[in-house]
Amino acid sequence: MKPTVLQLGPLLPLVREGLAANYTHLDLGALSDAAGFLAEHGPAVDAVVSSGRNGVNAALIDALPKLRLVAHFGVGYDNVDVEYAKKKGVAVSNTPDVLTDCVADLAIALLIDVARGVSAGDRYVRAGAWLKGAMPLATRASGKRLGIVGLGRIGRAIATRAEGFDMEIRYHNRRQSPDAPYAYEHSLEALARWCDFLMVATAGGEATRGLVSKPVIDALGAKGFVVNIARGSVIDETALVAALAEKRIAGAALDVFADEPRVPAALLALDNVVLTPHIASATTDTRRAMGQLVLDNLESFFRDGRAVTPV
């Protein structure tokens, strides 16, 4: 018999077609009676496919007594209760590596945008303001100091790109990476005080909630910028908005927010802020690779008992 795989929300056609072709495919989707559906079909489910939009909590795991694998579409899995899954003997996989380059590309694009005023300049021209005079001078990015919060796969890819702009690089992790070629700052506040640009690339979840706190933001100072391509929860968003509005920091470029897709109105009104709708991995190339890795994880798990990229 084919394993039964439950899809929790919208997925790429590539993934949907793969699930339908190889498994007994169930789609929780936008059902009005999800609880009734799970009560009827939950006992048969062997695996679920989750994503950043649709996570897996303890209650869902308990509703699926045969569950063996959570195949997560995304590198971040902070909306999956991994510890409870492990306690219940449920494996979890994610989709690392295949999105690293696109996320790092956008990180550098956001850094240059907020420093040089690319988006602001576009708005300036479209509004006809150039006819009245030149824009205020911007900030140089090349040769500046970049502090990276989280020197994992994505953090290292960002650092490699930043080297091409002759940026001096330091980083902060929970633990120092012995093979890292960059200087390590034991204190995040010290890193913020040192750098011109604070790049947030760490994992999300409770362990890093509010990590970039008001004291860290204050340490960045009036000439410092923050760029976040990690998770909105990592930054104290209230403190960040206040610092931007009061010009206690120079600017911010944000791809993620605390309550997506809702963005604080105060941010929308600021011209020293670049806002993108969580698109760091949103290219056709990367999303197809992520989708294929989800299918590969399922196939490997049901064949050999181990996913290709287990958490």
Instruction: Quote the Cα angle for 145-98-78, to 5°.
Output: 75
- Amino acid present at 177: S
Q: What is the pLDDT along the chain (311 residues), one digit of tens a residue?
A: 899 999 999 999 999 999 999 999 999 986 778 889 999 999 999 999 999 889 999 999 999 999 999 999 999 899 999 999 999 999 999 999 999 999 999 999 999 999 999 999 999 999 999 999 999 999 999 999 999 999 999 999 999 999 999 999 999 999 999 999 999 999 999 999 999 999 999 999 899 999 999 999 999 999 999 999 999 999 999 999 999 999 999 999 999 999 999 999 999 999 899 999 999 999 999 999 999 999 999 999 999 999 999 99
CB proximity list for 45: less than 8 A, separation 6 or greater? 4, 5, 6, 26, 64, 66, 67
Count other C-beta atoms under 10 Å from residue 284's C-beta.
Answer: 8
Integer angstrom CA distances of residue 55 from 49, 215, 283, 292:
9, 31, 22, 19
Domain 100-275 in the same topology as domain 4-98+285-304: yes
Other C-beta atoms within 10 Å of 271: how many? 12
At the fourth CATH level, the homologous superfamily of domain 100-275 is: NAD(P)-binding Rossmann-like Domain (3.40.50.720)
What are the sequence ranges of the domains in the chain? 4-98+285-304, 100-275
Give the per-residue pLDDT at 58. Answer: 97
- 3 state DSSP class of 65: coil
Which stretch of DSSP H or E encloses residue 147?
strand 145-149
State whether residue 250 is helix, strand or coil.
Answer: coil
- Predicted pLDDT of residue 33: 87
Q: Is the peptide bond before 261 cis (omega within 30 degrees of 0)?
A: yes
What pTM was estimated for this model as a whole? 0.89
d(CA 96, CA 230): 14
Q: What is the DSSP string of 29-60?
A: TT-TTHHHHHHHHGGG--EEEEESSS-B-HHH
Give the list of residues 6+ apart from residue 220 with CB closer than 8 angstroms, or none: 192, 193, 195, 198, 226, 243, 249
**Would you name the residues annotated as active-site residues?**
231, 260, 278
State the Rg of the chain over Cα.
21
Alpha carbon distance 39, 31 (integer Å)? 13
Residue 213, CA atoms < 13 Å, CB-side half-sphere: 9
Q: What is the CATH number of domain 4-98+285-304?
A: 3.40.50.720
CB 43 within 8 A of CB 66: yes
Burial call 11-36: b when 16+ CB within 10 Å, e when fewer: bbebbbebbeeebbbbbbeeeeeeee
Half-sphere exposure of 134 (CA within 13 A, CB side): 3
Per DSSP, the three-state class of 112 is helix
